[in-house]
A and B are shown apart, each in its own frame.
Chain A
Amino acid sequence: MPYSGIAEVVVNKKVGPEHFLMRVLVPELTKEAKPGQFVHVRCHGEMDPLLRRPLSLHGIDYEHGTISLLYQVVGRGTRLLAEMPTGAEVDIMGPLGRGFTIPEKAQNVFVIGGGIGVAPLFPLVQALKHYKIEQTILLGARSADWVIGTGQLASLGVKVEAATDDGSLGYKGFVTDLVGKRIKVIKPDYFFACGPNPMLKALLEVTRKSGLDGQVSLEERMGCGVGACLACVCKTVASSELLVASGNGKTVDSGEWRVGSGTEKTVREFEYKKVCSDGPVFGAGEVIFDD
Chain B
Amino acid sequence: MINLAVDLGGLKMKNPVTTASGTFGFGPEYAPYVDLNRLGAITVKGTTLEPRKGNATPRIAETPAGILNCIGLQNPGVDEFIAKSLPYLRKYDTPVIVNIAGNSTDDYAEITRRLTAADGVSALEVNISCPNVKQGGMVFGTNCAAASEVIRVVRQNTTLPVIAKLSPNVTDITEIACGVADAGADALALINTLLGMKIDIKARKPVLGNIMGGLSGPAIRPVAVRIVWQVAQAVKLPILGMGGITTAEDALEFILAGATAIAVGTANFVNPRATMDVLDGIERYMRDNGVKDVGELVGAAWQ
A52 to chain B, nearest CB (A): 7
Contact (A221, B65) CB under 8 Å given A1-B32, A227-B25, A229-B25: no
B58 contacts the other chain (Cβ, under 8 Å)?
Answer: yes
Contact (A220, B23) CB under 8 Å given A4-B33, A277-B29: no
Q: Which residues of B contact A48 (CB under 8 A)?
A: 64-65, 218
Q: Which residues of B contact A47 (CB under 8 A)?
A: 65, 217-218, 246, 270
Query: What 0/1 readout, one digit per residue, does chain A (87-101) give for beta carbons within 8 Å of chain B?
Result: 000000100000000
The SS class assigned to the A binding surface is: loop
Query: What 0/1 readout, one digit per residue, does chain B (239-256) give for beta carbons within 8 Å of chain A?
Result: 000000010000000000
B108 contacts the other chain (Cβ, under 8 Å)?
Answer: no
Query: What 0/1 readout, one digit per residue, does chain B (264-275) give for beta carbons within 8 Å of chain A?
Result: 001011101100
Name B217's closest neighbour in chain A (CB-CB). Answer: A50
Query: What 0/1 readout, one digit per residue, does chain B (1-39) give for beta carbons within 8 Å of chain A?
Result: 000000000000000000000111100011011000000
Q: Which residues of B contact A80 (CB under 8 A)?
A: none
B221 to chain A, nearest CB (A): 10
Q: How far is the CA of A223 from the CA of B67 in the complex (A)?
A: 9
Name A275's closest neighbour in chain B (CB-CB). Answer: B57
A26 contacts the other chain (Cβ, under 8 Å)?
Answer: no
B152 contacts the other chain (Cβ, under 8 Å)?
Answer: no
Q: Which residues of A contact B66 (CB under 8 A)?
A: 50
B158 contacts the other chain (Cβ, under 8 Å)?
Answer: no
In A40-66, the 8 Å CB interface with B consists of 42, 47-52
The residue that A221 contacts in the complex, of B30, B53, B61, B74, with Cβ under 8 A, is B61
B71 contacts the other chain (Cβ, under 8 Å)?
Answer: yes
Contact (A228, B270) CB under 8 Å given A50-B66, A51-B62, A233-B74: no
Query: What 0/1 readout, one digit per residue, does chain B (34-77) give for beta carbons within 8 Å of chain A?
Result: 00000000000100000001100111111011110101001000
Query: What 0/1 readout, one digit per residue, does chain A (28-50) give for beta carbons within 8 Å of chain B?
Result: 00000000000000100001111
Q: Which residues of A contact B217 (CB under 8 A)?
A: 47, 50
Q: Which residues of A contact B64 (CB under 8 A)?
A: 48
Check if A50 sits within 8 Å of B268, measured CB to CB. Answer: no
Contact (A4, B272) CB under 8 Å given A47-B65, A51-B62, A228-B30: yes
A272 contacts the other chain (Cβ, under 8 Å)?
Answer: yes
Q: Which residues of A contact B60 (CB under 8 A)?
A: 221-223, 229, 231-232
The SS class assigned to the B binding surface is: loop
Q: How far is the CA of A233 from the CA of B58 in the complex (A)?
A: 9
Check if A224 sits within 8 Å of B29, measured CB to CB. Answer: yes
The residue that B269 contacts in the complex, of A223, A233, A272, with Cβ under 8 A, is A223
Name A93's closest neighbour in chain B (CB-CB). Answer: B272
Check if A231 sits within 8 Å of B25, measured CB to CB. Answer: no
Name A3's closest neighbour in chain B (CB-CB). Answer: B32
Q: How far is the CA of A124 from the CA of B180 in the complex (A)?
A: 57
Check if A233 sits within 8 Å of B272, measured CB to CB. Answer: no
Contact (A50, B32) CB under 8 Å given A93-B272, A224-B23, A231-B69: no
A26 to chain B, nearest CB (A): 16
A144 contacts the other chain (Cβ, under 8 Å)?
Answer: no
The residue that B59 contacts in the complex, of A1, A52, A221, with Cβ under 8 A, is A221
Contact (A221, B58) CB under 8 Å given A50-B65, A277-B29: yes
A244 contacts the other chain (Cβ, under 8 Å)?
Answer: no
Name B208's closest neighbour in chain A (CB-CB). Answer: A221
| 6 further A-B pairs in the complex, CB-CB below 8 A; given A1-B32, A2-B32, A50-B266 | A47-B217, A51-B62, A51-B269, A220-B58, A226-B29, A228-B268
**Which A residues fall within an 8 A CB radius of B?**
1-2, 4, 42, 47-52, 93, 220-234, 270-272, 277
**Which B residues fall within an 8 A CB radius of A?**
22-25, 29-30, 32-33, 45, 53-54, 57-62, 64-67, 69, 71, 74, 217-218, 246, 266, 268-270, 272-273
